[in-house]
Amino acid sequence: MKLDRYIDDFIRNEKEVQVNPYLATRVLTKLEEQEEAAILRSTVPIWKKAVVAASIVLVMAAGYGLGSMVKGEKEYIAININDAQLENLNLYTVIGYE
């Protein structure tokens, strides 16, 4: 009995994890340093921002220019379509179709 209890106590002590109280603090400081470095590296030069803004303005101007090229009055043409020729609807309207 004494041997079994000793073995159980030994196993229970080995399963317990001893945590270093300063580990979390060190990990968090390293993460904050990496985030600050990433923020400093991610700044975009002002000339790239200007190029993006100029390209947006250029696309808008091109769209306006293409839209203003269409001039004249719109002529509407009436189109009469016979749906019976387009779709074979008589299959659905036949009575007694088996």
Q: 46-78, pLDDT tens digit by residue?
A: 899 999 999 999 999 999 998 888 776 777 777
Question: What is the reported pLDDT for 87?
Answer: 66
Tokens of 18: 């001893």
Residue 45: pLDDT above 80?
A: yes
Residues in CB range of 97: below 8 A, 6 or more apart = 91
Question: What is the reported pLDDT for 60?
Answer: 96
For the chain, the average pLDDT equals 80
More confident residue, 21 or 13: 13
Q: How far apart are CA 15 and CA 77, in angstroms?
A: 86
Q: How far apart are CA 76 and CA 72, in angstroms?
A: 13
- C-beta of residue 90 within 8 angstroms of C-beta of residue 97: no
Q: Is the pTM for the entire model greater than 0.75?
A: no
